[in-house]
Amino acid sequence: MEPTTFVLFGATGDLAKRKIYPALYNLFLDGKLPPSFALIGLGRRELSDETFRGNVERSIRTFSRRKVQDDAAAVERFLDAFRYCVLDVGRKDDYRKLLDMIESREQELRLTPNRLFYLSVGPEFFEPIAANIQESGLGSADGWKRLVIEKPFGRDLPSARDLNRKLNQAFAEHEIFRIDHYLGKPMVQKLEALPRSHPAFQALWTGRRIASVQITAAETVGVEERAGYYDHSGAIRDMFQNHMLQLLMMLAAHLPAGQADEKAGVRKKKAVQALRPLTKEEAKAHVVRGQYAAGTVQGTPVVGYTAEPGIDAESANDTFIAARLLLDDPFWRGVPFYIRTGKRMSGKSTRIVVEFERLPGQPLPTAEDEGAAHDLLVVDIGPEEGITLRSKANDPRRSAASEPIRIDLQANPDDVPEAYENLIGDALRGDATFFAHWDEVEWSWAWVQPILEAFADNLVPLRLYAAGSEGPAESDALLAENGHRWWSDSRNEQEIEMKEGNQYAYHANH
């Protein structure tokens, strides 16, 4: 790994404390930080280097997935790389001061001037920081430069294009690493290779065998302290345009054998380009927009969205969205992708379910079956991680019954790197595979834009759902139109898991 100076804007913020320092510490433990490494933390607060290092140490002791070693010398070695510099984004003098500090550290440590600028600050600062990096000469040394930015990347198609154009004045596309932390999750990184990872999947993985793909990200929390941001963003901007469409791309971007060297970014771009566009008039037929009302989440009564502190009592903001998407692609033609994400749902889970058609001759489900009327490939992304194939097979030893078979490809829960570890490690190595490339971001916004407009013009009715439920009934109805149903909610989870008994009660009710 090349020598690197890691310049962290927002070094006193929440994300740095909870995610970035613990990720760097775990990379350090694994020997995955560059041997010559310096970090300069930035913020408006006046902090000495010692106080800053003390804050970083507290953060790793509180949030690191691996316990901070008692080996005080190792912790000291890790913290030794950290320095702090006061910087206000809008003050040009501060960038000159920063340049002096970086240059003196580079000389002191004999570092090649490779600089990684990580913007862990509000999105309104992305453009002025990039412009100041260029203007001050911070980015024009002999080594490489990289820009790592957090979401959100724009709030619609025009603003995303505008932001990108401005960033491109200071950084080329190959120097920009847009973080979508879902892409750092180990299970998500396996998705694109999934069809090749097990003979059973290879046999099942043809467009004709796949009945539907369902992607769910359900949260139990409400809007929490993010009212000001969330009420102008909604589930569509906060989750759907970025994380959910990235999950779709990762799953859909597979290749016929023989083209395995085509870059992941190119394949993901092809997948998002293949999404059949919706007009704003068509949105109502394919999209469900929901907002949580009062209800009970896991035994605790909670208020509705419009009664939350900081939320306008008349707000029509979406806290839930479900959509049916089709891909005009030879493999995926005719296979609906259903995406659903919401707050205040019955359980917390991010999961992809691939539902397969029953083969001719495959036994019909019986009352004793494990609810597995279909073969399902279930990819649990969080909080549990794992891949399970739930399938039915005839057992010749038993006359009438058929046995569900399960293939568990469970990650080792004791040693799963956090998303930020994977992503920061990749950015340090210059590997952009698991970042959101501009084409993907632009095409995602382009697909979402008519829906944003349909929401703004109230062309898609706002459906209320009780907190603690699975979302509005219209989300079930959306799938029922194609003879499908959600396989990834608590109602069906019970059904999938049930060994015997009353699964027919469920069928009867639905």
Among 59, 64, 114, 120, interactor with ligand NAP by CB under 6 A: 120
Enumerate residues 6+ apart whose C-beta is below 8 A from 29. Answer: 66, 69
Interaction of residue 382 with ligand NAP, rule CB under 6 A: no
| 111 is annotated as contributing to ligand binding | no
| Order of strands across the sheet that contains 349-356 | 402-408, 386-394, 375-382, 349-356, 210-218, 337-342, 320-325, 287-293, 462-466
Is residue 241 within 8 A of residue 326, CB to CB? The reply is no
**Closest alpha carbon to 349 in 215, 503, 181, 446:** 215
89 binds ligand NAP (CB under 6 A): yes
53 vs 484, beta carbon nearer ligand NAP? 53
Cβ distance to ligand NAP smaller for residue 132 or 214: 132
Closest residue to bound ligand NAP by CB:
13
**424: which strand partners?**
none
Enter the tokens of residue 201: 């999947």
Say which amino acid occupies 221.
V
Q: Is 45 in the site for ligand NAP (CB under 6 A)?
A: yes
Residue from 44, 61, 92, 499 touching ligand NAP (CB under 6 A): that is 44
d(CA 151, CA 123): 7
Cβ-based nearer residue to ligand NAP, 45 or 165: 45
261 among annotated binding-site residues: no
- Residue 357 CB neighbours (<10 A): 14
Which of residues 15, 141, 416, 446 is near ligand NAP by CB under 6 A?
A: 15
Report the residue number, 43 or 417, with the smaller CB distance to ligand NAP.
43
Long-range contacts of range 313-318, CB-CB < 8 Å, 24 or more positions apart?
315/231, 315/291, 316/291, 316/458, 316/462, 317/230, 317/231, 317/232, 317/233, 317/234, 317/291, 318/234, 318/235, 318/236, 318/289, 318/290, 318/291, 318/455, 318/462
Size of the residue set binding ligand NAP (CB under 6 A): 19
Is 219 marked as binding a ligand?
Answer: yes
User: What is each CA distance from 135 to 99, 128, 170, 310, in whole angstroms?
Assistant: 11, 10, 9, 39
Residue 181 annotated as part of some ligand binding site: yes
Q: Which stretch binds ligand NAP (CB under 6 A): 84-92, 363-371, 435-443, 477-485?
A: 84-92
Among 22, 34, 43, 290, binds ligand NAP (CB under 6 A): 43
Instruction: Determine if residue 12 is labeled as part of a ligand binding site.
Output: yes
Annotation says 243 is catalytic: yes
Rounded Cα gap, residues 85 and 94, in angstroms: 9
Choice from 7, 10, 33, 432 touching ligand NAP (CB under 6 A) = 10
CA gap 185, 417 in Å, rounded: 8
Q: Which of 80, 92, 104, 122 binds ligand NAP (CB under 6 A)?
A: 122
Active-site residue, selected from the candidate residues 174, 198, 232, 243: 243
Is 441 annotated as contributing to ligand binding? Answer: no
Consult the annotation and say whether 185 binds a ligand.
yes
Cis check for the bond before 256: say yes or no (omega within 30 of 0). Answer: no
Indicate the Cα dihedral angle 131, 137, 142, 145, nearest 10°. -30
- The least CB distance from residue 51 to ligand NAP, in Å, is 12
406 annotated as belonging to a binding site for a ligand:
no
Q: Which of 3, 13, 347, 430 binds ligand NAP (CB under 6 A)?
A: 13
Measured CA to CA, the distance from residue 73 to residue 81 in angstroms comes to 13
Applying the rule CB under 6 A, the residues between 150 and 209 that interact with ligand NAP are 150-151
Beta pairing partners, 13: none
Residues placed in the known binding site = 10-17, 44, 88-89, 151, 181, 185, 219, 238, 343, 348
Binding site for ligand NAP (CB under 6 A): 10-16, 43-45, 87-89, 120-123, 150-151
Q: Which residues are catalytic?
A: 243
Residues placed in the known binding site for NADP(+) = 10-17, 44, 88-89, 151
Residues placed in the known binding site for substrate = 181, 185, 219, 238, 343, 348
